[in-house]
Structure 1
Amino acid sequence: MAPGRSRYRSIFTSATRRERIANFESYWAYSVGHDGEILQDQKDLVKKRETLVGFQAHPVRSRRPLADPARFYRNHVIMQDDPRTLDRKTLLLTFLYKFARHEYVGISAAWDRTERITESTSMIAKIGLYHLCEEFSHMRLFQEILRTFHLDQVEWVPLGKWMSRMYRLFPMFPEAMLAPPAFVSELMGLTVYQHIDGALDDILADEPEARERVRVLLREVMTDELAHVGQRRNFLGPLGLRAAHLMVESMYRAFFRDIPETRLLFDVEQMVRDGKAFDYSTIAPEMLEKSWVPSYCKA
């Protein structure tokens, strides 16, 4: 650890009920300051919209389109070709689409069960709405990443019937059942974004301007995901925390098995290890300054 860096405990550190209640209040205050007012009809937040408008006002495009854009469009929803025959830029972008598509379907199903914010809306319900709006803002940022490579015709396609049904049922589960896999899903997202960030210098070595734009967009997402990991951790009591830790390996492996690009881009074994051992010391200080960390994860 570099001199002067803060020290952190594992995300799987235990916390009392009183600590978790205090951290929900802290997280809610952070969310309002970080995002501004909610624009519920647009599934958006004032500050998120301003950030997106800023990126769109100063677009960055790669010097060259993909070698064969048609191969991206043929394989981004379902891999039709042998993935080993795709160049690494295309692989990275088809992977990102597939990963984000799962996210989109999940948050859309959860959104269908939300209600409008009123004066009587509980703090936890408000946190949930802000969380979903942040996730929808991430979908817009992912589309900006794809547009950076001249991919302007990308839409979020529903998953198959069985998987879509599962995502619709998931929000109906009792919180005690929902909390551990929901936490692991957030942790997996953060792990993925860290590994994408680590691969950009290699995969986009010949596109320095596009690489830096992708990194800035990705880190906007990561800043929120860092806070989401802590927020979802806050729902876990002792049994839920133990269950979540046991789920990490099986959930990571099952999810990545369904995306054939994964093993050609990343070290899945390392991703599993990173998830099981996560603490905030692996995150750049400038990103942590803009995000939120549970008090019980600070050493």
Structure 2
Amino acid sequence: MRTTSDYLKLAGKGVMMGAADAVPGVSGGTIAFITGIYEELIESIRRFDLQAIQILFSQGVAACWRHINGTFLVTLLAGIVFSLITLARGVLYMLDNYPVLLWAFFFGLILASVWSLVRHVKGWNLSANLTFFLGALLAYIITSMVPGTLTVTPWTLLGSGMLAICAMILPGISGSFILLLLGMYAPVLSAIKGFEFTTLAIFASGCVIGLISFSRLLSWAFHHHRRLILALLGGFMLGSLNKVWPWKYTLAYTLDSHGDAVPLLQRNVFPSVFSELTGQPTLLWPALALMLVGVVLVLVLDRNSG
């Protein structure tokens, strides 16, 4: 039975998930896993099914609420929404003005998260090793893809929501980056900042459809192929490090909905090469310090959740 203090901590985890999901390359699912709520989250979402409707009509609202773990979901969602409305602006400011430092923190966070996840894999064998490798390769390929551009329509908003939410609940695969690949990142972010309720409602509908459908698949995988799904998710995390490497050289730009230039195609480089190509300071020691902070944070969270 959770106490008020437990729910405040849960809301804080939601805040962390929302801040992470605002960055194209970092998954809120990663935060959910390292804070120890990932499987409960997947299982709770999965319970939105016909059985929940039957319980609602036969036993009442309270029983249905308990069945879907409603207080857990609402508390977590409140933290995520609060973060997207408030803290996400600060994260995006850091991304625009101090990208090396922000990426360095998330690099350390995800690197340690790989260890945090794969240590739960019991009995590594050939199939688990291959699954881990394929997950890493798939994430690397996805994070190396060149972003495209979709026309903003109700159907593209709906489909983007379905794809992005599936990525958001997968550790290592960023929903924000999927939106960036589709060319939908700026329109959705602008809708959040501008409180464009119609656009957000369509996007949210896609998220709900994708979330309920994909959570059932993940729940089944955890129950029947736990070792393989953990290996796969660990591989996703490892491959996603390609996206969060701090020192990047931008090869091409595109314009967002406000006419501002945003990176379109980037290449990872060594810090010394970064300084030569861009003329900017490498910030090597502050970046390494923030990497260490990310690693330590994961170790602390892993210890408290385990």
Query: TM-score w.r.t. structure 2 length?
Result: 0.35
Give the number of the structure with larger relative contact order, counting CA–CA contacts within 8 Å between residues 6 or more apart. 1
**Which of the two has greater helix per residue?**
2
Query: TM-score w.r.t. structure 1 length?
Result: 0.35
